[in-house]
Structure 1
């Protein structure tokens, strides 16, 4: 639990401390692409650790409570940078908190409409987030649930082997 809270706290602190409103187009695009690659790598590492974990279900909860905030904060950071680069990108200026709020409303598909993407670049980034949201909600959860099942099966097989093959 401490690791989960510590990781989430560190991610949020870094997000709020980064000077995202002083970025360039190239830096913003690089941040998003490298961040998405890092997110995929993070998921791969987490699946591996779920498979090896003593309690795969608990490890999966820990994995999701780290990877989802990372994903959301990555897009929030991109929105802060985009809004600073072009004040007309969104219907209003975005602070770090506004961008996080917008990212969560897009992720949850609530979309209140109080903050909207106005420029083509902003709409493209929001579209990428929406597509990635679908991948996360579908594929990533399926992979993690599958890893939990395989981890539990491996654990059960190991326990059976240790007990001399006499069931559980």
Structure 2
């Protein structure tokens, strides 16, 4: 049989393409984080920095809520797993860029000097590990850390819960279909 291997259906090009596009978007987010001139933010342009931070976080939150709504309404045409994953990647990089910009201001952070440090601190904070090698010292850095913890608790937890609900429903439907045959 042409196009089939060991009873498995041939991968549909239309099913693979959205995953490929979203993978490229994730790579673009990471590349942008490392390539954008973040040194121009922070103490040089504090108002722009805070406005960008607020706008990006608000945008990601709205998009996350939209995906959660799609799951709750059980919209079969949506792909929340991929979109939510991308939005989580984006939110991590928004916080990392903010920490990096804040670290340019003396006294805000101890131990945070590079973009990798900022990304590491963001992931460690997201995971609630807190090794203590990088610490927010200034009030602005501490406020952003509290915002990240709250943001993660509210939006990312809701998104993860929606995804697990969607996955569980898909497994149950698949099991029910298998029994009815």
Following the alignment from structure 1 to structure 2, what is the Cα–Cα distance between the partners of residues 137 and 20?
25
Gaps of 5+ in 2: 1-18, 174-179
CA offset digits 1:79-115 (Å, max 9, x no partner) = 111111x132110342111100000000000111100
Could you tell me which residue of structure 1 aligns to residue 8 of structure 2? Answer: none
Could you tell me which residue of structure 1 aligns to residue 56 of structure 2? Answer: 35
Q: Could you say what the CA RMSD is over the residues aligned between the two structures, in angstroms?
A: 2.6
Could you tell me which residue of structure 2 aligns to residue 162 of structure 1? Answer: none
For residue 83 of structure 2, the aligned residue among 47, 63, 67 is: 63
Following the alignment from structure 2 to structure 1, what is the Cα–Cα distance between the partners of residues 69 and 157?
19
Could you tell me which residue of structure 2 aligns to residue 46 of structure 1? Answer: 67
Contact 1:4-1:65 at 8 Å conserved across structures: no
For residue 116 of structure 1, the aligned residue among 135, 140, 145 is: 135
Could you tell me which residue of structure 1 aligns to residue 93 of structure 2? Answer: 73
Pair 1:98 & 2:121 matched: no
Pair 1:127 & 2:146 matched: yes
Deviation of 1:64 after TM superposition, in Å, equals 2.6
TM-score of the superposition, structure 2-length normalised? Answer: 0.72
| Structure holding more helix per residue | 1
Pair 1:10 & 2:28 matched: yes
| Bigger radius of gyration among the two | 2
How many residues align structurally? Answer: 151
